[in-house]
Amino acid sequence: MFHESTAVTVLAILACAAVLSGCTPAPPQEIPGLTYAERKLYVARERDRSWRQIGLAPGTRAPDIDPIEYVDEEVYGKVVSTCIVEFDSDELQDFVDDLVDQARPTDREYVRSSLEWWICQGRYPIQLDDITLLSSEQLTALYEHYENFTIPCLIAKGYRIYSPPERGSFTTEGWPSWSPLDALIVENSDLEPNDYVRLAIECRVQPDQIFAHSPLGVP
């Protein structure tokens, strides 16, 4: 998964492109996405995975986190960051302090920040309807669309695009792990924001048949 700052940039560009692409041809038949229950299960699995990656002693049990508020995606980063800044008053502060004390001295700063981030994400999760998650079928279709249309389109316009990931690593359900816009930003840093929007429309970075029922399209 690419860095969150890049992902936010790409989301913003795609959102603009969606508004401006009203004159594109009628999309092919839509591809079924994840159900609400599947999205909820995916998020729970990702929470478990991120807990294990903190680097705590094997078997350390994650605390039960009751959401305080489900937040919209556009304010999620700010809300979670505020929670972290104010974490000294959190009821789990002593729990975090104990786990940090058990970590190696060189790991303590990382463990503390990771625990605070994990807890605050649980306190203020993103609304499930706002999370961009695609099924394996959607990601397979998206990969083929990028490979057969978007990348050749961008190259034909004279832009450099580094190679996409292997199909198998891209098509696991969840967040798209790579985007031609991501590659475009890295390889062509002199482009203006308006260029990204234009290219997203012209080379159909957001095919409607895939994103029509995702947060990037019409819910």
Cα dihedral sign for 151, 153, 156, 160?
Answer: negative
Query: In this predicted structure, what is the pLDDT of residue 125?
Result: 92
* 44 and 112 belong to one structural domain: yes
CA 132/CA 142 separation, integer angstroms: 14
In a domain, residue 146? The reply is yes
Provide the Cα torsion 100, 117, 178, 32; round to 10°. 120
In a domain, residue 150? The reply is yes
Residue matched to tokens 């505020």: 82
CA 147/CA 130 separation, integer angstroms: 27
* 25 and 70 belong to one structural domain: no
Confidence of residue 119 (pLDDT cuts 50, 70, 90): very high
What is the greatest pairwise CA distance in the chain? 59
* 95 and 203 belong to one structural domain: no
Q: Given 87, 105, 130, which residue is the final one in a domain?
A: 130
CA 163/CA 147 separation, integer angstroms: 10
CA within 13 Å, CB half, 108: 10
Query: In this predicted structure, what is the pLDDT of residue 8?
Result: 43
Lowest model confidence (mean pLDDT) among 35-49, 150-164, 177-191 = 177-191
* 91 and 198 belong to one structural domain: no
Number of structural domains, the chain? 2
CA 97/CA 81 separation, integer angstroms: 19
Average pLDDT of the segment spanning 192-208: 83
Domain that holds residue 93: 38-130
Token pair recorded at residue 14: 């795609």
* 46 and 92 belong to one structural domain: yes
Q: What secondary structure does DSSP assign to 9-45, as a single string?
A: HHHHHHHHHHHH-TTSPPP-PPPP---HHHHHHHHHH
* 55 and 113 belong to one structural domain: yes
CA 214/CA 7 separation, integer angstroms: 15
In a domain, residue 66? The reply is yes
Give yes or no for residue 123 having a pLDDT over 90: yes
Q: Given 130, 147, 173, which residue is the final one in a domain?
A: 130
The count of residues in the chain is: 219
* 58 and 28 belong to one structural domain: no
In a domain, residue 219? The reply is no
Query: In this predicted structure, what is the pLDDT of residue 25?
Result: 42
In a domain, residue 217? The reply is no
In a domain, residue 42? The reply is yes
* 18 and 42 belong to one structural domain: no
Query: In this predicted structure, what is the pLDDT of residue 173?
Result: 63
162-184 pLDDT tens trace: 777 888 878 776 777 788 877 77
Q: Given 106, 130, 154, which residue is the final one in a domain?
A: 130
In a domain, residue 85? The reply is yes
Burial pattern 151-163, b for ≥16 Cβ within 10 A else e, equals: bebbeeeebebee
* 90 and 45 belong to one structural domain: yes
Q: Are 151 and 98 in contact (CB under 8 A)?
A: no
* 51 and 107 belong to one structural domain: yes
Query: In this predicted structure, what is the pLDDT of residue 36?
Result: 80
